[in-house]
A and B are shown apart, each in its own frame.
Chain A
Amino acid sequence: MDINLGGIVIIVGNYGSGKTEVAVNLSVHQRLAGKEVRIGDLDLVNPYFRTREARKPLADLGIDVVLPPKQYMHADLPILTPEIAGMIRRPSELTLLDAGGDDVGATVLSALTDHLKGKTPHVLQVVNPFRPFTESIEGCLKIRSEIEAASRLLVTGIVGNANLIDDTTAQDIENGAEFVRDLAEKSGLPLVFITAEKSLMPKIDKERIPCPILTIDRQLVPPWKKAGRFSP
């Protein structure tokens, strides 16, 4: 089972669900599979730990990272660079848009409605059941409908991102996979993939995982830790 996504992929989810880490690692995974990849940072609500933190390793792999102008990189201002509209009008093989958290962060997508007209974007909801407000299926469904209302888009698939950062165990991943499988069933949406940090991969019982697994090399780390190195 491998992940194969094309066209416009929009990553949404509740605040702190891990959208950026998923978007960054997904862009690398698809780039290493030979695709032409562009990623746009639409996170207008989070002041730290954004896609822009990983711009160098992504650029080194030939991934085009679209960010607000440099002088506004550390501003807490809702700046949507006009290049994003261009990305949508002329998508590359894979165009990834990393939105901000919750309905508030997804509101920016409604400004792109006109540009998205006639396109069929994948809108993936990232879920981490270890986060507050998405510990239950009801919580995830509530956030989904809030995001759909704010973004004027429909969620088309679920991504499982169960983790407790460094404290994650293989069992957490397996239980998390069961949680998102149930969520996908309840919501009538496909479970597109789940994630697991590289070091956990050998320990995971693959029989219990009903979908592809995206390997995570953690990029959004505090200053005393080293970001993971991407390798084919």
Chain B
Amino acid sequence: MGKKILMKGNEAIGEAAIRAGCLNYFAYPITPQSEVAEYLVKRMPEVGGVFVQGESEVAVGYMIFGASGAGARVFTTSSSPGVSLMSEAISYIAGAQCPAVFVNIIRGGPGLGGILPSQGDYFQATKGGGHGDYHMLVMAPASVQEAVEMVMLAFPLAEKYRNPVMILGDGLIGQMMEPVEFPDDLRTEPTNKDSWATSGMKSRGSTERNLVKSLYLDPTQLNDHNLNLKAKYDQMKAEEVRYEPYNTDGDYKILIVSFGTMSRVCRTAIDFLKEEGIEVGMIRPQTVFPFPDAPIRDAAVKESCKAVISIEMNMGQMVEDVERCLKGQRPVHWYGKCGGDVPTPEEIMEVIKERL
């Protein structure tokens, strides 16, 4: 690890991509993530990398597709409306089984919404956004340091699964400053790119053509293709679930499920309640697809636990996943806000006390 420096989340995400060996960045500016581009426009030339601003997020999505199809490590960053525009390309990239990393620093929605923090794109990130049966592997950081680690992990995971990976951060993750340390440079190349990249048969010493496509007109072939994709998503569910428990050793009456910066407000609320003698546990999904079904179920069915509250900066999206994995074994409640005023620890304490 290097020395500590103070960075905005957006800057740290840009630096993390470089340290992961990604020297291709295409993007279109939008608040609250424009600092990624502002940072990389200075940094990419220093490391021999490339930043190209597309004429729109639609174009950027396909620039990512093209670069990935050619075997380059590539990423983009955007915020909610921009990610909607990229969603068509994301579906094509998943269909063509190309690796790429997308970062969404969520702002309020729907439509233009507002520029303040939100988690309103949970459904878009975890259940589609684009068309067809595909999933992205989605990681949700709760600190600038974790954003760095997740970005650096995103590239090898995208290549392992030949599938788009998304970093889902709310506006605060992009805008707040925290001290960070970067792991030593990886600067690796994708090891399996011969399996998809249109790099020329001669250059890779192969007699097989690599075809980047998502079109399968034959119904049997298309079904088989989707079964292959499904097998990858099932493998993600088996191998890539990441989560962090907080205060789950004691006999808590309430279990909170919360992700991203919202979970940090909940953590403070849990600490304050502990001082009042009230025990509350929390599971923080670090991957929201695959969702930590089993850890949440196990924590919720603990004898002391009477109810589960999903706390999110939206109108109740992740709560559906929490209900799905609990299958009615405990009552599931939701609390959230999505205008941009992040709930305070005191507000969360009240919400919890009402359910005791």
Question: Which A residues fall within an 8 A CB radius of B?
Answer: 15-16, 47-49, 74-76, 128, 130-133, 135, 163-167, 222-225
Are A74 and B116 neighbours in the complex by a CB distance under 8 Å?
Answer: yes
| Nearest CB on A from B263, distance (A) | 9
B residues in contact with A166, CB < 8 Å: 179
Given contacts A164-B4, A165-B178, 10 further A-B contacts (CB under 8 A): A47-B115, A48-B32, A132-B7, A165-B179, A222-B172, A223-B345, A224-B261, A224-B265, A224-B268, A225-B268
Kindly supply a per-residue 1/0 record for chain B positions 328-350, scoring 1 wherever the CB is within 8 Å of any chain A CB and 0 otherwise: 00000000000010111100000
Are A133 and B42 neighbours in the complex by a CB distance under 8 Å?
Answer: yes
Interchain CA distance A167-B144 in the complex, whole Å: 14
Closest to B345 in A: A224
B interface, size bucket: 20 to 34
Within 8 A of A (CB), among B154-171: 171
Interchain CA distance A16-B181 in the complex, whole Å: 17
Task: Determine whether B1 belongs to the interface, using a CB cutoff of 8 Å to chain A.
Answer: no
| Nearest CB on B from A220, distance (A) | 9
Interchain CA distance A15-B42 in the complex, whole Å: 13
Task: Determine whether B267 belongs to the interface, using a CB cutoff of 8 Å to chain A.
Answer: yes
Q: Which residue in B4, B177, B340, B345 is a CB contact (below 8 Å) of A74? A: B340
Q: Which residue in A47, A76, A165 is a CB contact (below 8 Å) of B6? A: A165
Within 8 A of A (CB), among B182-199: none
* SS class, residues of chain B in contact with chain A: mixed
Task: Determine whether B312 belongs to the interface, using a CB cutoff of 8 Å to chain A.
Answer: no
A residues in contact with B267, CB < 8 Å: 224
B residues in contact with A133, CB < 8 Å: 42
Question: Which B residues fall within an 8 A CB radius of A?
Answer: 4-8, 11, 15, 31-32, 35, 38-39, 42, 114-117, 171-172, 175-179, 261, 264-265, 267-268, 340, 342-345
Closest to B171 in A: A48
Closest to B265 in A: A224
Are A74 and B175 neighbours in the complex by a CB distance under 8 Å?
Answer: no
Interchain CA distance A48-B115 in the complex, whole Å: 9
Are A223 and B5 neighbours in the complex by a CB distance under 8 Å?
Answer: no
Closest to B261 in A: A222
Closest to A223 in B: B342
Closest to B32 in A: A47
B residues in contact with A223, CB < 8 Å: 172, 261, 265, 342-345
Can you give 22 contacting A-B residue pairs, CB < 8 Å? Answer: A15-B8, A15-B35, A16-B7, A16-B177, A47-B32, A47-B171, A47-B175, A48-B172, A48-B176, A49-B175, A130-B5, A130-B179, A132-B7, A132-B11, A132-B39, A164-B5, A165-B177, A222-B172, A223-B342, A223-B343, A224-B267, A224-B345
B residues in contact with A16, CB < 8 Å: 6-8, 11, 177
| Nearest CB on A from B236, distance (A) | 30
Are A132 and B265 neighbours in the complex by a CB distance under 8 Å?
Answer: no
Q: Which residue in B31, B176, B261, B344 is a CB contact (below 8 Å) of A76? A: B31
Q: Which residue in B42, B116, B268, B345 is a CB contact (below 8 Å) of A48? A: B116
Interchain CA distance A121-B4 in the complex, whole Å: 35
Interchain CA distance A164-B264 in the complex, whole Å: 19
Are A130 and B175 neighbours in the complex by a CB distance under 8 Å?
Answer: no
A residues in contact with B39, CB < 8 Å: 132
Given A49-B175, A224-B265, A224-B267: A164 in contact with B6 (beta carbons within 8 A): yes
Interchain CA distance A222-B170 in the complex, whole Å: 13
Are B5 and A47 neighbours in the complex by a CB distance under 8 Å?
Answer: no
A residues in contact with B31, CB < 8 Å: 47, 76
- Most B C-beta atoms less than 10 A away, residue of A47, A75, A76: A47
